[in-house]
Structure 1
Amino acid sequence: MPAKSKALYNPAILEDTSAEAVEMKPVLTELLPQALGKTYNTKPSELPAYQAVRTQDAAYQGRLALALAMAMHRCAQSDYQIRSTLAELLSGLLRGTLGLGEDDYLRLMQLYGLDMRDANPTLELWPYPWGLTLAQVARLAKKQGQLGEPLREVVAAIYRGTIGGLRNELPLNLKAQEILNLTGEAQAPTVVFADGDPFGLSLNQFVADLAPAAVANWVTLLQMWQKATAGQPTAKLRKELDAATAAIGPEAVREQGSTWLQVLANIPVVERPRVHDYGDGTVYNYMSWDFLTDANLVVAKGLIWTMQPLADAHVLAQLTALAAKCFRKIPGKGPLAAGLGNACLLVLSQNGLPGVAALARVRSKIRQTNTQEIIARYIAQESAKLGVSPAEIEDMAVPEFGLENGRLVEELGEYTATLTLTDGKADVQWRKADKPLKSAPAALKATHADELKELKTTQTQAQQTYTAQRDRLDRSFVEERRMPWPWFAQYYFDHGLMSELARRLIWRLRRPDGTFQDALYLDDSWQDAHGKPLPALGADTQVQLWHPVLTTATEVLAWRELLERHQLRQPLKQAFREVYLLTPPEERTNTYSNRMAAHILKQHQFNSLAKLRGWRYRLLGAYDKGYDSEIASLPLPAHNLTAEYWVSEVYADGEWNDTGIYNYVSTDQVRFTRGEAPVALPEIPALAFSEVMRDVDLFVGVASVGNDPQWRDNGGLAQFRNYWESYSFGDLSEVAKTRKLALERLVPRLKIGKVSEIKGNFLVVKGHRHTYKIHLGSGNILMEPNDQYLCIVPDRSSRTMGDSAVFLPFEGDAVLSIILSKAQLLMDDDKITDPTILRQL
């Protein structure tokens, strides 16, 4: 025997005076040391003493089961290993045939801790094998056709959920229901759900209110939902769900199912403090986020599977919203309800192009890499069915929502509602005749409630779709995709929603002879960078999204001037997009770039940004090996490449959160690989290189501790103070250089222009008390004459740009907004009342 076989247990647990305990003491004295000393992978059935037991008859094995339960009952609560070992042996016996009667099973349950004499009986499940015990009782009930009153009372209590500890244990409740049906004692057909959440309460109330004629069909369907424990329905269950739905009526199931989906969407996620007392003086305090009971998570999955063939536009919208809710990140746990969310994604994936459109909308709200990959796989599967590429099926799936050139007009009685997409925002304006109204007339809520609800849904979905498609286009530069003109015209240029994106972007128009022309659609014609109209385009033209790395600096400047002249704001940064070209140091290092190395990033913020831009990354935790590093990677399938950004944990005392995840990471090199082999940087396509480096610059520019004005004063790591200062007030990144260009144009036109100017890497503002230097990269502030640091924490809820009338030809970044708002505050520093700021001045 291995050394572990000598593990001690208190012999008193075998000293029960019952006949079974006395008889089985020698057997347990031999069996227990073998079981305690076995390795993890050894099964009880492989133990010599256990094998000897299994050669005995059912009555003998039944008496041993009682003796094991007695020993468990006599164990101290803290004897986890002994109790779990005894439970494992008892479970093995309960999987076979035991010669036990009703009184014996009642004794077992009493030894498990159940006392039916208590007015409010309660117990703990672990470590007792309740499920296997009820399975034995079911065998007995089937054999006898009835149960005596004492055992029947226990089974009925388990079925009704009136025993504390078994109240919301659905598998046990279902097994008890099966036993009662076997003996003809249940009010058949019926079904009971865990009532620990609004969903279960709603289901139970629905069953209670069913008309007698509808009970059988509905209960048949609802009972199936309680068995939805797998990742997806089997072919058999799919067939049974469809048959049960047909028996009730698809419309009735769709209507009631939609009601329950709304219940799920409305259930709040409640944060509650919890305390677990281990019984040995150890107490663990933690937080839980309550949504659905475990039992009703299974039921909800069955509901969602049932809705798959019934999903109309409204149901698809509900499933999309529920999926986003289920993948909400919960601290210390991960997704709120990943299994339920995956069920939603599965159903969406099986509903053709409308489902693909819904997947595209929800994808932008999900940060989990594995879930992003699941969505991509579903889209690829649908594209394969239609014989198109994943990008093409996403084009085809974008709904128009009844829009024409970004505009939808609805007549509701004597009122007119106009939905418009303006600068990416879906807005509804109301009129009565020629009189504009501030909001939807209250009278319509009574006369046109359904139409109002549909309009609101359209507004929400149009906004979500626009945002999702804008982000998809922003990530698509690196693909260098070319589209035939007829495809581009149908799914972009003439599309009710996509035209709002396509007509404000620059496109490269490629002719069959290999020549091309860069163009923007202005004043009802395609024009070049100098505003010169182009000849009509032929059907053989191919269209590619233009990128500034594809042309000269002179041409880029011409495009920027054209946008400003026409006051055209692009939906994403294109003409003003940063360009990253290979540098001499990178040519020397050849296979890697150190341009973005040696930065200190807030890891969680970096992780969120990386996922948002399609990168794959796994959070580094204090449980990882200290010398390990992690790689954030971005697949580039168009070039058969993978981009890698290497990071390492920043190890310091206490610098990890409650779940053991490091707060900070340090950055290293950027590489490109093909398969396992590194690829020389000069061989990387210029556009792919530029876009990857832009992403990495974004990660640093947002997640660096140097951007946090409070990091130094709030106890930031002392060993990185020099880094914080050098980043906060040092050289400008490419993003910051673009910001500088924008500010050079903006500042003279603003009120702050009278007291402000751009000097080097700073916006210098002359206040009444001091002169201030706001860094154009970090937004942090120094005060002249001795460069004293001034900490001003920006209001994250504020979206002001300093002047709402100021035109920007691209969507402003957060730091630009912060710089302008700080400048506006500091020019009138004599009017500042905030005591935190005044103390520093």
Structure 2
Amino acid sequence: MSTTKKDQFNPTILDDESPEALEMKPVLAELLPQLLGKDYNTKLSDLPAYQTIRAQDSAYQSRMVLALTAAIKRVGHNDGDYRIRWVLADVLTALLRTTLALTEADYLRLFASYGINLEEPGNAALYVYPFPLLLTLGQVGKLAKRGPLGQPMLTFLQRVCDQSTGQRGDQLKVRLKAQEILSQSAGDDALPVVVFADGDPLGQALAQFVAGLDRTESRAAPWLGLLQRWQKASPAQPTAKLRQELDAATAAIGPDAVREQGRAWLQLLADTPVTERPHVHEYGDGTTYNYSTWDFVTEANATVAKGLVWTLQPLADPPLLETLTTLAAKCFRKIPGKGPLAVGIGNACLLALSQNGLPGVAALARVRSKIRQTNTQETIARYIAQESAKLGVSPAEIEDMAVPDFGLENGRLVEELGDYTATLALADGKAETQWQKSGKPLKSAPAALKATHAEELKELKAAQTQAQQTYSTQRDRLDRGFVEERRMPWPWFAQYYFHHGLMSELARRLIWRLHYPDGTYEDALWVREDWRNARGQPLPTPADQAEAVQLWHPLLAQPSEVLAWRELLERNQLRQPLKQAFREVYLLTPPEERTATYSNRMAAHILKQHQFNSLAKLRGWRYRLLGAYDKGYDSEIATLPLPTHHLTAEYWVSEVYADGEWNDTGIYNYVSTDQVRFTRQDVPVPLPEVPPLVFSEVMRDVDLFVGVASVGNDPQWRDNGGLAQFRNYWESYSFGDLSEVAKSRKLALERLVPRLKIGKVSEIKGNFLVVKGHRHTYKIHLGSGNILMEPNDQYLCIVPDRSGKTLGTGDVFLPFEGDAVLSIILSKALLLMDDDKITDSTILRQL
């Protein structure tokens, strides 16, 4: 073998004075050139010098380990020396995988050579690359099996346990191995050694629990055994063996005790704040890089938390399921520059929920609405499908079955607590608790009950919170369900909707199509304790005649009937939980018939990408953010699966490239929109072949994305600079033609404005609500909510209140819930009609 420059090394690295180094110097002098000269296709076992070493006995190989360690330690740290350290460490690692004949003193020498110094408290310098610390501890474990370890080694191992409490995964493995050896050395009757990382509240609580255990009690050993197993919960799901061990340990302690203590630790995790920690990295050239990390739970204790969740999985009662739900939502919270907060713990929570029958499915449905990650939403859908298969029902049916009623009857729950009466009621989409004493209303929960009925108050508060979340989740599910055109047998509808304590508050305010056995149908709404048609006439009891029921859509009816339903709602002051009678309808246009397989109706808009992404996920669409990074895509497709019709809807978008228009993680701030398509097995489907209701609902979604995420809706976009090349787009969108959503809003305002205080000074003209103030006359666009001042159409920037309060409507009836822009328009109108009373300096400067 010829010698090249890369094969050369400084021979002084072999000049250590230890007996082993002197003995092995000739062997290493022969081995090193072979190591440095081999290519990536040559195995270590192919080298003649290494073959000679492996042919020797374990005592010889043990002396070689000591010599290799001394040589690695003597290698410099210049750029050219890294390969020498690497190839020598490769041999050292290989030998430490064999059976060696080193003594306890030899291993302590190795640890010292690795640079480990645990004499001073807090010095946990256990990252000793390239030395294979974990393999060396494994050899100590083998030594412990052959005989008792001496006190120096036991002391060293204990210090490793005490000080290896960092966040790195390799430190966790080191500590677990040290714990294992200590437990093994203590004998079969000794208690397991368990040490937790103390870098977060969970680790501190667990360490305090271990310290407080009475080691003379019988429960100490099973508790420590259980806690020790939690530290090994590294897989994505518990293995069959680990599942058996967790269940056995739980049985030994007592399920009730494990549930009670485990719930406290789980609640601690749910309550642990997520804190941002800013960092500044200074480079040698004087530049700096600012970034943040987010503290929640250390890597080591994230593994422990998974073990905790897996243990509690078969023990979950309603309060525990609620805590798991809360923690799951928290763990999938998006952290800037990181992604989800704690995916491993979150997935463990989802798995636990999926194994708890219908209550678990209900919890999964609630948490799904709070999660934006597509892959996690798909995981939840898979869990629900698995549970539905077990019961022989569809995923939609099992979600119906899983909806809890929280003890409500017709949306109300009455509880007697001492001398007081609490009424939990769902009204106009809000769960509220009203209090009375002797028939007299009270403003809040009586303070006296906090001492006498603390547990009942806690349960009532939990029921109120969960009822509100469930109501919102089910309302959104129904709103997304139009596209499925689902028909339910009447008995099913009656049980899980009409007579359900919570769902009845949704079902009885919606219009349903009743299908009869002879193929005919009737559209009906529950009004004044009767099913009635659009003309308000009572209908025969559906239970006697109806075969199936379907959620009504205005596309299924003639325009005259749609108007009749709207008039009926207004006449009876019935507010629908979602847009139904006033729902926008999107029909195929002649240009779309000509393009055949795609629609350009929603093309050429500029959207804020992150807002668009959030909206898409809320409506069940799948989308991947476009980023300004190497090999990033310059276009993307948001997709909506439509399994009922074997279709997929597509909305195409492209990056808007401009200098600096991306965030710290390289994600573009803006995207431009393109065509809408429908495909079946990746083949475009002609638009006339798409079911009209499916087309309408998909286009409504896309109109929503544009209507909310368009930069034209941002009153500050132009004044803050925006993108100069899209200034004309902002102007045309902010004050141009109305979308279908805005047209629906206009119809509502035409009925609403005359009944309001602003009605005396306001009127609808074209695309604007025109308001006469004392200083100016104002034109509020019915699509964007942006404002122009007459006579020269000067732009007026007023940033809306984002607190969620609905201003300007007073007690006036609104026929449907949830139009934020409508509320913004009314709030601005109310402000501007009395523009002489405005005190905000930012607004006054513009007036």
After superposition, the Cα gap between the structure-2 partners of 1:78 and 1:325, relative to the gap in structure 1 and judged at 3 Å, is farther
CA distance in 2, matches of 1:117, 1:278: 33
CA distance in 1, matches of 2:714, 2:793: 18
Q: TM-score, normalised by structure 2?
A: 0.94
Query: 1:142 and 2:145 equivalent?
Result: yes
Letter in 2 for 1:197: D
Contact 2:167–2:299 (Cα < 8 Å) also in 1: no
1:505 is paired with a residue of what secondary structure? coil
Please point out which of 440, 444, 458 is paired with 2:445: 440
After superposition, the Cα gap between the structure-2 partners of 1:259 and 1:387, relative to the gap in structure 1 and judged at 3 Å, is same
Please point out which of 242, 250, 259 is paired with 1:245: 250
Query: 1:320 and 2:319 equivalent?
Result: no
Letter in 2 for 1:511: Y
CA distance in 1, matches of 2:118, 2:757: 80
CA distance in 2, matches of 1:392, 1:277: 58
Pairwise mapping of residues 496-507 of structure 1 onto structure 2 (< 5 A)?
A: 496-507=501-512
Pairwise mapping of residues 56-71 of structure 1 onto structure 2 (< 5 A)?
A: 56-70=56-70
Partner of 1:96: 98
Query: 1:294 and 2:299 equivalent?
Result: yes
Partner of 1:428: 433
1:169 is paired with a residue of what secondary structure? helix
CA distance in 2, matches of 1:576, 1:47: 80
Pairwise mapping of residues 116-127 of structure 1 onto structure 2 (< 5 A)?
A: 116-118=118-120, 120-125=122-127, 127=129
In the comparison of the two structures, how many residue pairs are matched? 836
Contact 2:775–2:835 (Cα < 8 Å) also in 1: yes
Contact 1:30–1:49 (Cα < 8 Å) also in 2: no
Contact 1:484–1:542 (Cα < 8 Å) also in 2: yes
After superposition, the Cα gap between the structure-2 partners of 1:776 and 1:90, relative to the gap in structure 1 and judged at 3 Å, is farther
CA distance in 2, matches of 1:750, 1:80: 82
CA distance in 2, matches of 1:571, 1:660: 39
Pairwise mapping of residues 823-838 of structure 1 onto structure 2 (< 5 A)?
A: 823-838=829-844
Partner of 1:714: 720
Q: CA deviation at 1:747?
A: 1.5
Query: 1:207 and 2:210 equivalent?
Result: yes
Pairwise mapping of residues 420-569 of structure 1 onto structure 2 (< 5 A)?
A: 420-537=425-542, 538=544, 540-569=546-575
Q: Which moved more, 1:164-173 or 1:175-184?
A: 164-173
Pairwise mapping of residues 346-425 of structure 1 onto structure 2 (< 5 A)?
A: 346-425=351-430
Aligned-pair identity (%): 73
Query: 1:621 and 2:627 equivalent?
Result: yes
After superposition, the Cα gap between the structure-2 partners of 1:141 and 1:75, relative to the gap in structure 1 and judged at 3 Å, is farther
Q: CA deviation at 1:619?
A: 1.1
Contact 1:16–1:70 (Cα < 8 Å) also in 2: no
Contact 1:123–1:165 (Cα < 8 Å) also in 2: no
1:244 is paired with a residue of what secondary structure? helix
Q: CA deviation at 1:624?
A: 5.4
1:610-658 deviation per Cα after TM superposition (whole angstroms, max 9, x unaligned): 1100011111111254664211100001100000111111122221111
1:72-105 deviation per Cα after TM superposition (whole angstroms, max 9, x unaligned): 5444387896466655554333223344333332
After superposition, the Cα gap between the structure-2 partners of 1:196 and 1:84, relative to the gap in structure 1 and judged at 3 Å, is farther
2:579 is paired with a residue of what secondary structure? coil
CA distance in 1, matches of 2:288, 2:634: 33
Contact 1:13–1:72 (Cα < 8 Å) also in 2: no
Partner of 1:76: 77
Q: CA deviation at 1:44?
A: 5.5
Partner of 1:270: 275
Letter in 1 for 2:306: K
1:727-768 deviation per Cα after TM superposition (whole angstroms, max 9, x unaligned): 111111111111111111122222222222211111122222
Q: Which moved more, 1:24-33 or 1:691-700?
A: 24-33
Q: CA deviation at 1:109?
A: 2.1
1:687-735 deviation per Cα after TM superposition (whole angstroms, max 9, x unaligned): 1000000001111111111111111222212211111111111111111
After superposition, the Cα gap between the structure-2 partners of 1:810 and 1:104, relative to the gap in structure 1 and judged at 3 Å, is same
Please point out which of 684, 691, 694 is paired with 1:678: 684
CA distance in 2, matches of 1:437, 1:787: 51
Q: CA deviation at 1:582?
A: 0.4
Letter in 2 for 1:769: R
CA distance in 1, matches of 2:86, 2:282: 19
CA distance in 1, matches of 2:482, 2:297: 42
After superposition, the Cα gap between the structure-2 partners of 1:248 and 1:165, relative to the gap in structure 1 and judged at 3 Å, is closer
Contact 2:415–2:421 (Cα < 8 Å) also in 1: yes
1:763-802 deviation per Cα after TM superposition (whole angstroms, max 9, x unaligned): 1222222222211111111222222222111121151231
After superposition, the Cα gap between the structure-2 partners of 1:160 and 1:441, relative to the gap in structure 1 and judged at 3 Å, is same
Letter in 1 for 2:560: T
Partner of 1:158: 160
After superposition, the Cα gap between the structure-2 partners of 1:25 and 1:301, relative to the gap in structure 1 and judged at 3 Å, is same
Partner of 1:14: 13
1:710 is paired with a residue of what secondary structure? coil
Gaps of 5+ in 2: none
Pairwise mapping of residues 513-662 of structure 1 onto structure 2 (< 5 A)?
A: 513-537=518-542, 538=544, 540-623=546-629, 625=631, 628-662=634-668
Partner of 2:349: 344
Contact 1:168–1:196 (Cα < 8 Å) also in 2: no
Query: 1:741 and 2:744 equivalent?
Result: no
Q: Which moved more, 1:822-831 or 1:334-343?
A: 822-831
1:229-261 deviation per Cα after TM superposition (whole angstroms, max 9, x unaligned): 111111121111111111111111111111111
CA distance in 2, matches of 1:663, 1:513: 56
Pairwise mapping of residues 174-193 of structure 1 onto structure 2 (< 5 A)?
A: 174-184=176-186, 188-193=191-196
Query: 1:133 and 2:136 equivalent?
Result: yes
Contact 1:221–1:244 (Cα < 8 Å) also in 2: yes
Query: 1:29 and 2:32 equivalent?
Result: yes
Contact 2:434–2:442 (Cα < 8 Å) also in 1: yes
Letter in 2 for 1:500: E
Letter in 2 for 1:334: G
Contact 1:170–1:193 (Cα < 8 Å) also in 2: no
Query: 1:224 and 2:229 equivalent?
Result: yes
Q: Which moved more, 1:202-211 or 1:428-437?
A: 202-211
Partner of 2:113: 111
1:421 is paired with a residue of what secondary structure? strand
CA distance in 1, matches of 2:301, 2:371: 23
RMSD over aligned Cα atoms = 2.7
Q: CA deviation at 1:52?
A: 6.1
After superposition, the Cα gap between the structure-2 partners of 1:9 and 1:316, relative to the gap in structure 1 and judged at 3 Å, is farther
2:360 is paired with a residue of what secondary structure? helix
2:780 is paired with a residue of what secondary structure? strand
1:188 is paired with a residue of what secondary structure? coil
CA distance in 1, matches of 2:121, 2:264: 37
Q: CA deviation at 1:342?
A: 0.7
1:241 is paired with a residue of what secondary structure? helix
Letter in 2 for 1:481: R
1:6-55 deviation per Cα after TM superposition (whole angstroms, max 9, x unaligned): 769984893553455544542553255357x537xx87667777666544
Partner of 1:723: 729
2:186 is paired with a residue of what secondary structure? coil
CA distance in 2, matches of 1:699, 1:499: 30
1:101-138 deviation per Cα after TM superposition (whole angstroms, max 9, x unaligned): 33332233223321245465341515243222211211
Query: 1:774 and 2:775 equivalent?
Result: no
Letter in 2 for 1:345: L
Contact 1:31–1:50 (Cα < 8 Å) also in 2: no
Q: CA deviation at 1:803?
A: 2.5
1:349-395 deviation per Cα after TM superposition (whole angstroms, max 9, x unaligned): 11111111111111111111111111111111111111111111111
After superposition, the Cα gap between the structure-2 partners of 1:120 and 1:255, relative to the gap in structure 1 and judged at 3 Å, is closer
CA distance in 1, matches of 2:637, 2:50: 49
